[in-house]
C-alpha cells in the first residue's frame, strides 16, 4: 500500500509538470534540522525563554528517539525497496540512510506541533501550525523520499514527545529542584544510546554493482549526532538554570540585536569551531563533541555572553 501511494503521487507530480514539486521542496526546508534549530534559538534568546526551553528539550528527545528507531529497524528508503520510485530533483540529498521514521516530520512536529500544544496559542494559530507539520510530512511523500508509514509514525511520535515534554516542563516549573533528576536521566539515556549504536549489528546488503546499500557505521554516526545535540541541550539547559538565568523581558532593539548576533555567531560555531573539535578527536568522540558544542552554544554559552555583555 505504501508503494502504491508513492507511485500515485509520483504520477501526479510528473503529470503536473513539477509545479507542486517546487512548492513541496520549499516546505521540506521547514523540517530540516538546521532550520528548526535556528528558529528555536531565536525563540529562546529573543521571544520567550520558557517556550524556547520547552521546544529545545522536546527537540533533544525527538533526536534521541528518531536516531534510536532508525538504527533499530534499519528500514531502507523507498527507491531502494522499489526501483519504480524515483525521488524528485535533489530531494535525495536530504534523505540519506534509513527511512523509518521520518526525521523531517519529527523535526516539524517538534517546532510546529509543539507550538500547537501550548495554551497561549490561539485556535487559528494551532490550526496553522498543524497544517505546517502536515505539509512537511506530505512533502516527504510527494518528493518520494519517505513512505506514508515513515511520515505517520514520525508525526505521532513527534507530537507525543512534545506532549510529554510539555508535562515535564510544567512539572519542573512547580518543582525547580527536580531539574537535576531530569539532567541525569537525559544524560544516562544519551550514554546508553551511544553504547547501543556502537555495539549493534547492522544489515550488510549489497546492490547489483556490489556496493553496500546502507553503511551501518555511517548510520551509527548519524545516531550519535542526535546524542550530541541532545547532550548539548540538556547540559546547557541545566547550567543556564543554575548559573546564568537570563530573561527575554527586554526591549525590541535588544531582541533584534540578540537575534542577529546570535545567529551569526551560532553559524560561526557550526562552520568553523565545531569542525575543529571534530578533527581533533577520534571519529566517535569528535562527532558527538562537535554536535554537543553547537547546541551547548545555543543553550548556555550565548545566553551567558548576553547576560555579561548586556549588564
The verdict on whether 57 is a catalytic residue reads no
The verdict on whether 104 is a catalytic residue reads yes
Q: What is the residue-wise DSSP string for 256-293?
A: HHHHHHHHHHHHHIIIIIHHHHHHHS-HHHHHHHHHHH
Per the residue annotation, which of 13, 70, 140, 146 is the catalytic one?
Answer: 146
Distance CA 68, CA 202 (A): 13
Per the residue annotation, which of 104, 140, 225, 258 is the catalytic one?
Answer: 104
CB atoms near residue 185 (< 10 Å): 11
Is residue 157 within 8 A of residue 101, CB to CB? The reply is yes
Determine the distance from the C-alpha atom of residue 256 to the mean position of all C-alpha atoms in its chain, rounded to a whole number: 25
Grid cell listed for 56: 529545545
Give the phi and the psi of residue 306 in degrees, each rounded to 5.
-60, -45
Q: Which residues are catalytic?
A: 104, 146
Amino acid at each position: 500500500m505504501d508503494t502504491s501511494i508513492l507511485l500515485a503521487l509520483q504520477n501526479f507530480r510528473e503529470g503536473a509538470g513539477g509545479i507542486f514539486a517546487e512548492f513541496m521542496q520549499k516546505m521540506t526546508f521547514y523540517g530540516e534540522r538546521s532550520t528548526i534549530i535556528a528558529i528555536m534559538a531565536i525563540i529562546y534568546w529573543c521571544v520567550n525563554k520558557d517556550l524556547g526551553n520547552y521546544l529545545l528539550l522536546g527537540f533533544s528527545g525527538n533526536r534521541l528517539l528518531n536516531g534510536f528507531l532508525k538504527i533499530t529497524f534499519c528500514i531502507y528508503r523507498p527507491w531502494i525497496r522499489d526501483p519504480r520510485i524515483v525521488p524528485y530533483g535533489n530531494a535525495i540529498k536530504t534523505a540519506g540512510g534509513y527511512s523509518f521514521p521520518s526525521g523531517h516530520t519529527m523535526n516539524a512536529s517538534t517546532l510546529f506541533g509543539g507550538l500547537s500544544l501550548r495554551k497561549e496559542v490561539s485556535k487559528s494559530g494551532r490550526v496553522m501550525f498543524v497544517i505546517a507539520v502536515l505539509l512537511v510530512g506530505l512533502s516527504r511523500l510527494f518528493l518520494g523520499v519517505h513512505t506514508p508509514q515513515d511520515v505517520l509514525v514520525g508525526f505521532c511520535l513527534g507530537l507525543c514527545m512534545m506532549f510529554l515534554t510539555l508535562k515535564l516542563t510544567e512539572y519542573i516549573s512547580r518543582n525547580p529542584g527536580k531539574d537535576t533528576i531530569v539532567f541525569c536521566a537525559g544524560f544516562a539515556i544519551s550514554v546508553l544510546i551511544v553504547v547501543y549504536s556502537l555495539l549493534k549489528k547492522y544489515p550488510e546488503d549489497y546492490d547489483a554493482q556490489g556496493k553496500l546499500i546502507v553503511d551501518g557505521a555511517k548510520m551509527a554516526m548519524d545516531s550519535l549526532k542526535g546524542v550530541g545535540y541532545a547532550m548539548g541541550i540538556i547540559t546547557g539547559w541545566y547550567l543556564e538554570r543554575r548559573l546564568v538565568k537570563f530573561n527575554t523581558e527586554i526591549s525590541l532593539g535588544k531582541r533584534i540585536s540578540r537575534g542577529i548576533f546570535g545567529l551569526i555567531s551560532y553559524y560561526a560555531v557550526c562552520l568553523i569551531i565545531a569542525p575543529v573539535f571534530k578533527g581533533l578527536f577520534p571519529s566517535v568522540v569528535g562527532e558527538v563533541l562537535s554536535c554537543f558544542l553547537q547546541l551547548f552554544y545555543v543553550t548556555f554559552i550565548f545566553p551567558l555572553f548576553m547576560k555579561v555583555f548586556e549588564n
